[in-house]
Structure 1
């Protein structure tokens, strides 16, 4: 499919509709759901499955292939020229189970290995962040405003050594789960997010796009290039993500990560 055949404004509206439908299914299950375990021992709930079904029902009308965490068969059909939806119907399943509210729906459109549209929806807080190539970034349909106080570092809730990094650069730590982290970076409520342990393609694609749209940057720590969402394996490289105001500090942060013996890398996924 060529660039001129992509009506991104229309696809954006369809993605929003799919995200809202998934969120409705998730909230319907919030007080009563069943828990299963996947082969890798990660959690799966009936909410994940019903949200996935709702997204497929809507996105399938676009006739663009769908790759989802909960139905990964099409992943081996991707290549560098592919166009496909990349979906996490419920990002933060553990947080959903614990009812912390820190979970979301993630939908991205990938074209030639990079996202060109992204939607992140937090059903509990009824907040939806979205954008597509050539447009502004929206929060609940309104163009977002950027906060200029970006002296915080976002950390996942898994144990890691990122606190040493924060202390070295005098950054406060905000602990968050799921792709909700990216909404903080996009709005300027935080400036730095470093992932030193495993994540999957569907976890980051929508947030990656929104961050770049806001003027920020997100790079693989292995080759300092933007993440490739068409690669054959489904795990991301470790990465660094910076808000627009933090971008000038990229070289300082990379120097520290490359030279520090205090920062440990791992392949665990939270």
Structure 2
């Protein structure tokens, strides 16, 4: 079985585990004060069981691969068993499963499954993205939306949306990357801290659809084998707005 096939299967199994707990779960608090549920743990167990069949090491939010190992490993799985735990707890359906295979610091395949929507997005490269088994056809026009998360706000991001004529829409978790991949939204920026597993899968899907994710500190594509679990601020742009990327980046340089 090919790695992408295994990853898709793993995401589907994790999704099923999450839904089993949707109406009956327990909440714990991690050392960083973030919530952890029994659904996170069940999904992580399902992912690890499937992905281990590849013989490639796994870095998961619930079973972290050490900094030195991530830097040294040529390849490793980078996964978030339940991205959007707060959304899961709020039962607003805006959470997902994220899987990316990292090679030399960049993703080479990825999967995002949205359990409550029965949607699964995946790509093994070749500038092709699949949604529920069918090739996702790019659109010539994109909804003029700038995406933000549901927790916290940012004056800088609001200024960006106003300057470039975007409407603002709040969406939870890495589902934002899926909507940009579908050309249902134009841009997304995260200026506060986030973790590597939050964006690697979405980064690859957007790239394969013709868009781009840019690290606003290095002004390059993000790397996922750095000796830290925390991303720099970043900007995501869909394929129909890439022509304006330099203008967007100039705005965030300030």
Alignment of 1:42-121 (within 5 A): 42-79=34-71, 82-121=74-113
**1:220, 1:227 within 8 Å by CA — same for their partners in 2?**
yes
- Map of 1:156 onto structure 2: 149
**2:67, 2:226 within 8 Å by CA — same for their partners in 1?**
no
Using the alignment, how far apart are the partners of 2:20 and 2:166 within structure 1? 38
Would you say 1:220 and 2:212 are equivalent positions? Answer: no
- Map of 1:143 onto structure 2: 135
SS at match of 1:245: helix
1:21 deviates by 0.5
Using the alignment, how far apart are the partners of 1:176 and 1:14 within structure 2? 28
1:197 deviates by 0.6
Structure 2: unaligned runs, 5 residues or longer: none
1:188 deviates by 0.4
Deviations 1:163-200 (A, max 9, x none): 22111111011111100000111010111111111110
Residue 44 and residue 81 in structure 1: after superposition, are their counterparts in 2 closer, same or farther (change >3 A)? closer
Alignment of 1:1-270 (within 5 A): 10-79=2-71, 82-134=74-126, 136-147=128-139, 148-157=141-150, 158-161=152-155, 162-259=157-254
TM-score scaled by length of structure 1: 0.90
**2:58, 2:65 within 8 Å by CA — same for their partners in 1?**
no
**CA RMSD, 1 decimal:** 1.3
**1:67, 1:75 within 8 Å by CA — same for their partners in 2?**
no
Using the alignment, how far apart are the partners of 1:188 and 1:139 within structure 2? 13
Structure 1: unaligned runs, 5 residues or longer: 1-8, 260-270
Deviations 1:213-240 (A, max 9, x none): 0111111111111101000100001011
TM-score scaled by length of structure 2: 0.96
SS at match of 2:116: coil
Moved over 6 A (4+): none
Count of matched residue pairs = 251
